[in-house]
Structure 1
Amino acid sequence: MSSYSSLSRVLSPFRVQTKFEEKTLPARYTDIMVFCLVQGDAIKNSFPIDISSHTTVGHLKKAIKDEKQNAFIGIDADKLTLWRVDIVQTKENQEMTIKEHKGVELHSFESVGTHFQDVPLSTNIRIIVQPLLPATTVGPSHQGVPQVTSIEDAMKKILEGIHKQMDVDNVDNNKPKPMALKQRDLKQAIDVIDRNFCNSLDKQKAIKKETPTAKTNYRILLCGGAPGIGKTRYGVELFNCLDKEWKISKGQKPYMLYMLFDFTNGYALDEYEIQGDIKIASEIILGLRLAYHYLVHKKYVMSFTVFRTKSNEYKQCFRLSNVLLYIHNLEHESLIQRGKHLFIFLQIDEFQLIFKERNGGEKLFKQLMYTLGHHMAGEIPEVFVQTLLSGTAPQDAIRAMEPTMYSIEPLDLPLLSLESRLEIMREFATNHGVSDCVWVPKVWIHQLLLDTGGLPRALEYLFAEFFGQDFTRVKEFFEDLEKKKLIPSTIYTSVSKDIDTAYKIKPYAREHKMLIYELVYRNIMEIESDISDVLQDGDHRIKLEHLERDRHLILRRLEEKDKVQIDIPYFFMYHYASVLGVFTEHLNHAFLLDEIWSWQNWEKFIADFITSRINMIDVLNKEKLLKLGNFFRGSGSNVTLGQLINFGSVEIYELNHQFPCLNLSAKEGKTAVLKPGYIMINGYSAPFADIFFLVDEPDPILIAIQCRLRKNLLNLKTIEDEHKRNANISHKMEEKARKLKNDSKIASREKKEELRKEAEKYTQLGNLLSKYRVITIFVTTQRFNEELERIPNDCILIHQEKFDTFFGPVFSSRTKFVMTRDSNPNLSTASQLTSRYKAISQDIGERIEQTRKRRIFRSHEEFCEEFKELADVNELRDDFIYYPYPPYIEPFEHSNKRTRV
């Protein structure tokens, strides 16, 4: 049988009309039907062409080529020679092969009607088609070189002398499994795929609808976001879920294959592929990669680059439709039950590189999507192709799709929640017979899990540091953990270096300091941005979406808003801070991993944090006039939160004495001045605020900050009393001055003048402070259970529930984590518990530490099973948390963490 008939075996009768018919001609022209046959084929392979008698033979050649695309691969219509014959078709002669004939050659300029109008409905074969094959697919006929017109023949040529690979399945089975990701929500994607597949079935069954399914109802999936967020892994997980759990809405579940084209690793585009007709180029670009993945990848020792080079001579064979039909034919014979569809889940990874092609990247992307969309919409019966694009330029893909094209469905791909990170850690442990008791009490492990920010690649680097590069040292890690051989700071440093190497954080920050300042500022200040925002980068400007594409940040879409916020994982911020000097020395300490580190210097941390935020406003020349509530994001009255403050740059002074006082000497030999520009940390146990500073514009205001560590509940009365004490500071100065004056009246002559001068200074200080309105801000780890609406004027409360918006995602989770270490029987040391709770003696504290070597507490009920004598202590019932178990994990998640662009 000829190569033409070999190809025809895999063709399905999915097209009953030619493209010529689709462009219908006026009714005055007579339609005729002409049966045609390719020279060398059996009569049974004849095919009809419906065409107008008014058209030319040249038009007829085009119609024949369109009808027999696979038979005439790489052959232009004008290279077909048509011979007019008259061969009767009967049941008896169907197997006869027509190799020779006596016919009349037809010329392209001739009218079809002059040859066939007399027999418009004849079923005789009237045309023999003789192709003149191009030089790229045949050798010189006089040398006897056989022509290559099928994929099967082409593959034989390509694979000549190529060795097969060893049994990769067995090799892969011995490899450690990759890190499993948790809590991926696949419902959105599965629903879209189900609709696409059912729409395709409807089209193939020719279901008559008032409105046919439009292209825009077929959706190409788009998984976009920053590098390392798990886009490639998402495609694998989605396919596995489809293969195992998809309950199809209509019809029989198809046979499924997964194909991955990584445009950076192995499947990269080459400029010469994009030459000539863009439609044909797109078909071949996709077809070559599909053929390589299915027929060569992991089967033969050959890279895609070599395959592409060797197949160039036969590339017209590898159009996408041909390859799909070829795969269907092979799978149909071996695996697919009759009536089942072939479902190919095609993931194109790093698709953004298509747009970087100098030779019309956007045009190529559109055509590739058109080509793939046709095979989602039922171009070939029983073959369905669902495309998933994964890459870092989702907005480029969305903009490229025209209103009449197949649609793009952006998928939500959030960062991994803390609960998910804990589950992955637990899976490593339980798979090696290690219980929670071994690793849960190690505070530094939880800090490192927090510091990854939920970025899968950062988490992978962390686990590679824990368990070895291929996760082959899991058992050894837990053994070393029990023997206390591990050094947390060393692990932190190694992971930081790995992340910096992968993302080039420090080099980029050094070259783009003001841009990174802007990103850090927007992150810390929780500023909502438009994805199209353009930021200044030296002499250039750059869009937020391009910064995500180029691996420098993560954009998180806000629920119910067309806005995004900038996420910067803790490890990234650590490197930015070291390059920019954006934070003070004390605040930089927050990035260091130290098991004994705590928030005992709470006031210093708050002062450093506020100072860093104010100074970023100054460095970036931002608007300094802000509403108080936009800077100190907490709870308070509208009047207080709406008060305007002009934030000028400040410097921290840690006072040696308790203010109010005249001596403003500070540590490190410095001396503060009571005027704007100085933010002062008060002396220990001072009767006034822990931190304070003055603002003169637009109104004179004294900001008094109370930093309260978690002890008892905070109530309204405490807030009112402390604010009243702060607000009365000028009266206190006046009282002090009066007392000194009175003392001077009875003092000795030498002391009298000294006391009088001191009294005068306190009078001046009182007069100065009397001009300032005092606003008290409480930053506290205490719980507050009363109505926030009742917070008095001139007071702002920033408590745990507001930490996310005040501290921002970088600091809030670690702040909340550290502040609860003295109330978690799974993590707290005996000394922490005994100093925090009167009911816990040193003996009980040590028993708690010993008990968690054999069991970890998931609830207060479990704790009371072991410590019945504490069951009635209400303080423990109210205060104890049992992280890392639900529902105690959720408070450590940043709000909106699960929602992404």
Structure 2
Amino acid sequence: MTSFVDTFVVNVAKESDIHGSLVKFDDLKISDLKFLVYNEINHDIKFNYKYIDLWKVDIAYGERDKLKHVTTKDDIIEKFGGEQLIPIFLVKKVFFEQLLVDENIHVIVQLPAAAASLSFKEIIEVIKKNALKGTPNLPDVLSMPLQQRNFKGSMSYVNETIYNNITGRDGKSNYWVLVSGGAPGIGKTRFGQELFNQVRKDMPQYIQNIYNDRKIPHDRRRTDTHFEYLCIDFGNGHRLTRQDYGIDASIIIGLRIAHAFFIEKEYGMTFQEFRIALERYRDSFNNFHFNVVIGEIRKALNLSDKHLFFLYLHIDEFQLIDSWDKEDKSNPPTKLFYNMIHNISEFMLKSALPAFVQPFLSGTAPLAVIEQKEASRISFLFVDCPLLNDQSIIRITDHFAEKFNAGIANYAYKWKYCRQMLQLLRDTGGLPRALQRLFIVCFGADGKQGRGFFEKLEKKDIDFVDCFIKVKDSLDKQYGIRDYVEKNRNVAMKLMYFCIEGIAIEPNKCLDDNNPALTIRSLERDRHIILSSVEQSARCSLFLINMPFYFICLYNDVLCIVKPTLVHLFYDERMYWEEWEVFVAYHEAFRTNLAIKMGKTTMTLRELYPNADELDVNFDMSVELKPLCVCKANEQFPHTNPLTEKHDGKIIDWQSGNVVVINGSSAPFADVFLVRKLVHIEFKKFLMSNQCKWDYVSIKMPESKVEEEDEKNLKSFYTAVDDDDDNYILITIIFTSQPYKKEKHESGVLVISKEDFKKHFGPVFSSRASFAITGDANPNFWEKNRLKNVLNGIGDASIDNVIKKRPYYSDEDYYIKNPGAKKMPKMDYFPFDVSEILDIENR
């Protein structure tokens, strides 16, 4: 292709150096001009300059469109009336007997075929020579270290594929392309990189085991394996453009792999710049077919035929290939996605080839892959990209603690004793992007606040509510959640309901009757919905919707399910007695109000309290749903009635069924209570009485204690209320940190132990509930008075010594350090149970 971009100027002086001899302008011939042109091109590929053809033309800039697709002498003659210049003619006679316009093109240079069609290596070397050496990227001080995740399932399919390649097994079902598809920000790209690290670690021995187990002859074995990771990012770096239409799919992919291996690693040349540089060699594009490039990489690595070249090809943002394909108007269409997989599969299926390609696709459009399944020669496996678990989150934070020289006490970082910081970390839900935003808020975008943050943390001088809100607002800017919820309230309400209730749904479930294309799967691609597989069957797959707590609060900001007070309460210095009661109260209000906004007017108690005993008929009764608010009482109910609101002194109409009441401190009755009116039964109401009971010394919650609490509630209520209030049916709900096993049927009583939290609170709130309750069962966070209750015969001085022995990593560690401690069941040691012991004692 020719264009004004490819133009250049040849300066002709009064005397020109031609082969070391000075030739005067009046004597300069066209053959000499060829020599000057040759030197101006400065081509690294040697050829005889005499074979250059020069064509005299006069092309104005306004005629530039005619230059497109000019490749032959016939094109030059037909489009521009080109005149081929004769070598023995004088330049002066040809050009300077007429007036020339400076801005016009006056000569078209046609290179000989040997120069126009260069080898792959020659083209790459020319481009390298004209490219600038890349400057190393400045290290990102907030780059999160990769974490080892559970790759057992993914590795089994990589192993199966290489096994079948080596042994030559037929059938596409035996060869796997791994696909990680899901919402933006869940760490799909990181997962692909981490999986490659696992492949590089485990695969050499696995390949040798295949050779040995199958007794493969030594002359058929590869003596060594070279592992190479290449990432083709179609969203940022190797994007597809209209320039790619009409090019063979094999070349489209080959060009990008060539850039990733030969250029990107060393040179400061983007892929688009690489493409522009390649345009003059368009006739040589056949040298960039996928299989040719793979062979050239092998040569560049100096791999012998006995070497296996294992290319882990990570194709990121694969959904953009599908989008590009749908805009393809060329005839025949490129079918890039389909043909890309076809080309890759050659290096998976054929064991005779000295290269093996394991593709890993990451992106946000699983449907794009599903549509290719039947047409492909090989199989696709959707691998779960698990969110970061607690251990990974803690280790990543430890990485920054070390980077910023954080304080250490007794071989452990001091930051781990801050429960509010641990809660901020857990509120990310393991979403890498949310975790990254948290670190930016804490340490500053450039990391310069990192050391200061840890110092303030140790001094308890951090506003955790402010941190939470900044992270939440930052995530909103990235995902546009508030704006989406505002414009799609009904859909957002459904998403939140499914998430909070932990309801498993089909990925193709339509969320809007007026828009059949709006499915859970489509939102996962375009929005912030994170799906995790919970059930597979021959007919359907079911998924749970996951959202970090930050997202839930953004939804609530718009939908106003409850007042946003809940956020502030969780970052107070302690969340034991009173704070736990507030959590229970707001959870009651949140779930009820959300159900009302979903259009529900009634629910059974069993739907509201899913842990209830199946034999308890009370929980099969339906109750009216009324919008709930939360009130804190000044007084102790039922001994004082009416009750007044703590913050403004107004009367609390607790009998209306519109309020969840947090009882006054030290009340002998329930910590939290509310009224729920029965449906179709006049004058009968349930009084739901929530009791928080911590028992730190017994092995389990005894049945006698359950009966005692229920009897206490009944006695307190019926002793204090008027005769007209006997229409109330009391339901006692006890939350406990201890294990509980129901030994006999007791109507109107529900015990929710820690093991039942997920079922009761749902996946979002159960993490917070567990953290709040287990923190009080964690010796690393016990206060002095609590330690006295669980250690026999130890005075204040010894208690101080017990505190100094922290941290405790396990039951064994705790009892070895404290021989006098009472035996306690199911103690919690987070975050130290997922931490490594440091080499430094104190800092």
TM-score by length of 2: 0.74
Query: How many matched pairs?
Result: 695
Structure 1 residues 191 and 262: CA distance shift in structure 2, 3 A: same
Residue of structure 1 aligned with 2:439, choices 430, 451, 463: 463
State which drifts further: 656-665 or 394-403. 656-665
Shift of 1:665: 4.4
In structure 1, C-alpha distance between the alignment counterparts of 2:622 and 2:283, rounded to whole Å: 70
Q: Deviations over 1:351-390 (max 9, x none)?
A: 1122223425994322322222233222982122211101
SS in 2 for 1:239: helix
Shift of 1:678: 4.8
SS in 2 for 1:788: coil
Equivalent position of 2:578 in the other structure? 600
Q: How does 1:394-473 map to 2 (within 5 A)?
A: 394-402=366-374, 405-429=377-401, 434=408, 435-467=411-443, 469=445
Q: Deviations over 1:767-803 (max 9, x none)?
A: xx1xx5443322x134144x33634233222221111
Q: Are positions 1:574 and 2:545 aligned together? A: no
Q: Are positions 1:339 and 2:306 aligned together? A: yes
Residue of structure 2 aligned with 1:304, choices 271, 276, 293: 271
Equivalent position of 1:632 in the other structure? 609
Residue of structure 1 aligned with 2:506, choices 530, 537, 546: 530
Equivalent position of 1:181 in the other structure? 146
In structure 2, C-alpha distance between the alignment counterparts of 1:501 and 1:688, rounded to whole Å: 46
Equivalent position of 1:693 in the other structure? 675
In structure 2, C-alpha distance between the alignment counterparts of 1:637 and 1:789, rounded to whole Å: 14
Q: Are positions 1:872 and 2:837 aligned together? A: no
Residue of structure 2 aligned with 1:775, choices 720, 725, 731: 731
Residue of structure 2 aligned with 1:234, choices 182, 187, 191: 191
Q: How does 1:365-376 map to 2 (within 5 A)?
A: 365-376=337-348
Q: Are positions 1:670 and 2:651 aligned together? A: yes
- Output the amino acid matched with 1:643: D
Shift of 1:145: 7.7
SS in 1 for 2:832: coil
Equivalent position of 2:357 in the other structure? 385
SS in 1 for 2:522: helix
Shift of 1:290: 0.9
- Output the amino acid matched with 1:706: N
Q: Deviations over 1:96-129 (max 9, x none)?
A: xxxxxxxxxxxxxxxxxxxxxxxxxxxxxxxxxx
Partners of 1:344 and 1:385 within 8 A in 2: yes
In structure 2, C-alpha distance between the alignment counterparts of 1:723 and 1:240, rounded to whole Å: 57
Q: Are positions 1:883 and 2:830 aligned together? A: yes
Unaligned runs of 5+ in 2: 1-70, 72-107, 212-220, 837-843
Structure 1 residues 328 and 777: CA distance shift in structure 2, 3 A: same
State which drifts further: 141-150 or 499-508. 141-150
In structure 2, C-alpha distance between the alignment counterparts of 1:551 and 1:599, rounded to whole Å: 38
In structure 2, C-alpha distance between the alignment counterparts of 1:272 and 1:828, rounded to whole Å: 66
SS in 1 for 2:474: helix
In structure 1, C-alpha distance between the alignment counterparts of 2:199 and 2:828, rounded to whole Å: 39
Equivalent position of 1:164 in the other structure? 133
Shift of 1:724: 4.8
In structure 1, C-alpha distance between the alignment counterparts of 2:113 and 2:254, rounded to whole Å: 29
Partners of 1:570 and 1:810 within 8 A in 2: yes
In structure 2, C-alpha distance between the alignment counterparts of 1:151 and 1:678, rounded to whole Å: 76
Q: How does 1:703-782 map to 2 (within 5 A)?
A: 703-711=687-695, 714-724=701-711, 732=719, 762-766=722-726, 769=727, 773-778=729-734, 780-782=735-737
Shift of 1:191: 2.6
Residue of structure 1 aligned with 2:239, choices 265, 268, 271: 268
Partners of 2:248 and 2:334 within 8 A in 1: no
State which drifts further: 357-366 or 542-551. 357-366
C-alpha RMSD over aligned residues: 3.7
Partners of 1:822 and 1:829 within 8 A in 2: no
Equivalent position of 1:218 in the other structure? 175
In structure 2, C-alpha distance between the alignment counterparts of 1:533 and 1:369, rounded to whole Å: 29
Q: Deviations over 1:744-774 (max 9, x none)?
A: xxxxxxxxxxxxxxxxxx33333xx1xx544
Q: How does 1:538-577 map to 2 (within 5 A)?
A: 542-558=518-534, 562-577=541-556
Structure 1 residues 856 and 300: CA distance shift in structure 2, 3 A: same
- Output the amino acid matched with 1:165: G
SS in 2 for 1:258: strand
Equivalent position of 1:82 in the other structure? none
State which drifts further: 436-445 or 342-351. 436-445
Shift of 1:152: 2.9
Q: Are positions 1:352 and 2:319 aligned together? A: yes
Q: How does 1:28-177 map to 2 (within 5 A)?
A: 146-155=115-124, 158=127, 161-166=130-135, 168=136
- The higher radius of gyration belongs to 1
In structure 2, C-alpha distance between the alignment counterparts of 1:838 and 1:647, rounded to whole Å: 51
Q: Deviations over 1:183-242 (max 9, x none)?
A: 412233333223323333344xxxxxxxx6122322111012222222111222222222
SS in 1 for 2:361: strand
Partners of 1:176 and 1:472 within 8 A in 2: no
Structure 1 residues 471 and 374: CA distance shift in structure 2, 3 A: farther
Shift of 1:636: 1.7
Unaligned runs of 5+ in 1: 1-74, 76-138, 204-211, 737-761, 890-901
Equivalent position of 1:587 in the other structure? 566
Partners of 2:605 and 2:621 within 8 A in 1: yes
Q: How does 1:819-858 map to 2 (within 5 A)?
A: 819-830=773-784, 833=787, 842-849=796-803, 851=804, 855-858=806-809
Structure 1 residues 477 and 536: CA distance shift in structure 2, 3 A: same
- Output the amino acid matched with 1:716: E
- Output the amino acid matched with 1:394: P
Q: Deviations over 1:298-345 (max 9, x none)?
A: 333321112223324544644587454344345346531331122221
SS in 2 for 1:693: strand
Shift of 1:585: 4.9
In structure 1, C-alpha distance between the alignment counterparts of 2:639 and 2:448, rounded to whole Å: 63
In structure 1, C-alpha distance between the alignment counterparts of 2:531 and 2:160, rounded to whole Å: 29
Q: What is the percentage of aligned positions where both structures have the same residue? A: 28
Structure 1 residues 236 and 541: CA distance shift in structure 2, 3 A: closer
In structure 2, C-alpha distance between the alignment counterparts of 1:322 and 1:673, rounded to whole Å: 76
Shift of 1:829: 3.5
Shift of 1:658: 5.0
Residue of structure 2 aligned with 1:619, choices 571, 594, 597: 597
Shift of 1:578: 2.4
Q: Deviations over 1:561-598 (max 9, x none)?
A: 632111111222222222322223543434x5332454
Partners of 2:504 and 2:543 within 8 A in 1: yes
Partners of 1:465 and 1:495 within 8 A in 2: yes
Partners of 1:858 and 1:882 within 8 A in 2: yes
Structure 1 residues 144 and 213: CA distance shift in structure 2, 3 A: closer
Q: Deviations over 1:252-301 (max 9, x none)?
A: 343222110111111111134133xxxx5311210110111122113333
Partners of 1:650 and 1:679 within 8 A in 2: no
In structure 2, C-alpha distance between the alignment counterparts of 1:294 and 1:323, rounded to whole Å: 13
Shift of 1:613: 1.0
